[in-house]
Amino acid sequence: MSKQQNVAIFGATGTIGTHTLDVIARHPDRFRAYALTANANVEAIFKQCVTFEPAYAVMLSEGAAESLRSKLRDAGSSTQVLFGMSALEEIAAHPEVDAVMAAIVGAAGLRPAMAAARSGKRVLLANKETLVMAGSLFMQAVEEGSATLLPIDSEHNAIFQVMPARRCDSLMDGGVKRVLLTASGGPFRTKTEDELQNVTCEQALNHPNWVMGPKITIDSATLMNKGLEVIEAHWLFNAKPEQIEVVVHPQSVIHSMVEYVDGSVLAQLGNPDMRTPIAYALGYPDRLDSGVSALDLMKIARLDFEAPDIVRFPCLRLAYEALERGGTAPAILNAANEVAVSAFLDRKIHFMGIPRMIESVLSAAVIQEARTLDTVIAADLAAREAAAEWMMVH
């Protein structure tokens, strides 16, 4: 590919966003940060705009956009500042944009990711919530828009790398028996059921292997992250729930595996650094220097594996159940989880209150077919209300 690619980075100030800019900065001949977006962190995006000189910057609120605009004006920048969800959708579909890094956290990332898919962009999908909420609609948008979908989540990126090169309609057509999703097990892997009742937010935020945003870090501690990734794998690889197995692998060196019918198991290994999957997706099909240090197998010395425990970590079970139920169930699971995680981060509920709240919201919800985006968004909102009500009585 000779032409320089214009990349729009949604969620530029987050962990994935800053790692993406790090990789882009290593390859100025190949990539231009054409647009950067953030929720409210004006200071952080201002610095990024000064360094990368994007054509556009988008903030969620008008106030944040105004404050960024005046800072950029004073700095003599020509970056144009927009705000709001429709501006995000416009940038995702902008004719000058070649690739979209979808790295907003949570349900807020759904609409821009859909817009990028419909407009046939190269979609680098970090926002797993998009596939959890609206997997069927999103995959349809990718197909209809002739978009190129490249998974950023390290497990799915690993699977993508070791899947058969030719496109197959089903896993079996490609000779694939199962996909094996690895999970670090999070900071509470060895805690007993009793101990889990009393773990703190600080402990939950202290992930053993990965540096990530707060929401996904809590999801990793509850294993909801792995649950969301099971649903993500279902849509990305057309895998049935029984074809997706979770393997706890505390070292986070094997990022996932594919088992073939002949008994071969192919894995992708590397240091736990998101710049590897980001560089892979940015450069695909070429390989690029990502800045990630070489894997030192002698130093790692051993790789361990164990089965996940759905009794101590009910969120993983809840995600499999939501996937089996289908329709709007995964969107409800996701919305209830977002409310629960934010309540836990605000010290309003205990750690084990997270699965309790989600289970309660899911069991009371009416599941519908996820036929339109409006149905999905309505289910998301209703689940948030139900979760807020649960909080009032618990």
The SS3 of residue 53 is: coil
> Residues 268, 272, 274, 277: what is their CA dihedral angle, to the nearest 10 degrees?
-10
Q: How far is the CB of 220 from ligand NAD (least distance, A)?
A: 9
In the region spanning residues 55 to 114, those forming contacts with ligand NAD, defined by CB under 6 A, are 60, 103-105, 108
Residue span binding Mg ion (CB under 5 A) among the ranges 16-24, 34-42, 150-158, 341-349: 150-158
Shortest distance in whole angstroms from residue 169 CB to ligand NAD: 27
Interface region with ligand NAD, contact rule CB under 6 A, candidates 70-78, 127-135, 160-168, 176-184: 127-135
Q: If binding is defined by CB under 6 A, does position 181 make contact with ligand NAD? A: no
Q: Which is nearer to Mg ion, 126 or 171 (CB)?
A: 126
Tell me the C-alpha distance between 226 and 294, whole Å: 26
Nearer residue to Mg ion within complex by CB, 232 or 321: 232
Torsion of CA 320, 321, 326, 329, to 10 degrees: -110
The C-alpha atoms of residue 100 and residue 56 are separated, in whole angstroms, by 13
Per CB under 6 A, the list member of 6, 7, 8, 15 interacting with ligand NAD is: 15
Q: In the bound complex, what is the minimum distance in angstroms from residue 103's beta carbon to ligand NAD? A: 5
314 forms part of the interface with ligand NAD (CB under 6 A): no
When asked if residue 189 is in the footprint of ligand NAD (CB under 6 A), the reply is no
Which window, 11-19, 138-146, 199-207, 380-388, contacts ligand NAD (CB under 6 A)?
Answer: 11-19
Angle at 380 between CA 111 and CA 102, to 5 degrees: 30
Q: Which of 57, 114, 117, 126 binds ligand NAD (CB under 6 A)?
A: 126
Check the CA dihedral 203-204-205-210 and report its sign: positive
- Nearest of 254, 184, 251, 252 to residue 221 by alpha carbon: 184
Which segment (153-161, 200-208, 294-302, 341-349) binds Mg ion by CB under 5 A? Answer: 153-161
- Binding to Mg ion by residue 219, rule CB under 5 A? no
Beta sheet of 148-151, edge-to-edge order: 80-83, 56-59, 31-38, 5-10, 99-102, 122-125, 148-151
**Contact residue for Mg ion among 153, 321, 338, 359 (CB under 5 A):** 153
14, 105 contact by CB (below 8 A): yes
Q: Does 129 bind Mg ion (CB under 5 A)?
A: no
| Ranges of H-type helices in the chain | 15-26, 42-52, 62-74, 85-92, 110-118, 128-144, 154-162, 193-196, 201-204, 214-222, 224-237, 275-283, 297-300, 314-325, 329-345, 353-364, 373-393
Which one, 15 or 161, has the nearer CB to ligand NAD?
A: 15
**Stretch 192-231: interaction string toward ligand NAD, x if CB under 6 A:** ------------------x-xx--x---------------
DSSP letters spanning 290-339: --PPPP-HHHH-----B---TTT-HHHHHHHHHHHH-TTHHHHHHHHHHH
Nearest-10 Cα torsion for 294, 297, 302, 305: 50
Residue number, 126 or 332, with CB nearest to ligand NAD: 126
Residue 321, binding choice from ligand NAD, Mg ion, none, Cβ under 5 to 8 Å by partner class? none
Q: Which does 108 bind (CB under 5 to 8 A by kind): ligand NAD, Mg ion, none?
A: ligand NAD
CA contacts within 13 A on the Cβ side of 10 = 34
Let me know the angle formed at the C-alpha of 353 by 245 and 243, rounded to the nearest 5 degrees: 10
Residue 249 is classified by DSSP as -
Is residue 232 part of the contact set for Mg ion (CB under 5 A)?
Answer: no
Which of 8, 17, 145, 284 is close enough to bind ligand NAD by CB under 6 A?
A: 17
Number of shown-chain residues binding ligand NAD (CB under 6 A) = 25
Question: Whose Cβ is closer to ligand NAD: residue 174's or residue 316's?
Answer: 316
Measured from the CB atom, the residue of 60 and 233 that comes closer to ligand NAD is: 60
CB of 217 to ligand NAD, least distance (A): 8
358 forms part of the interface with ligand NAD (CB under 6 A): no
41 binds ligand NAD (CB under 6 A): yes
Site residues, ligand NAD (CB under 6 A):
11-17, 38-39, 41, 60, 103-105, 108, 126-129, 153, 210, 212-213, 216, 274
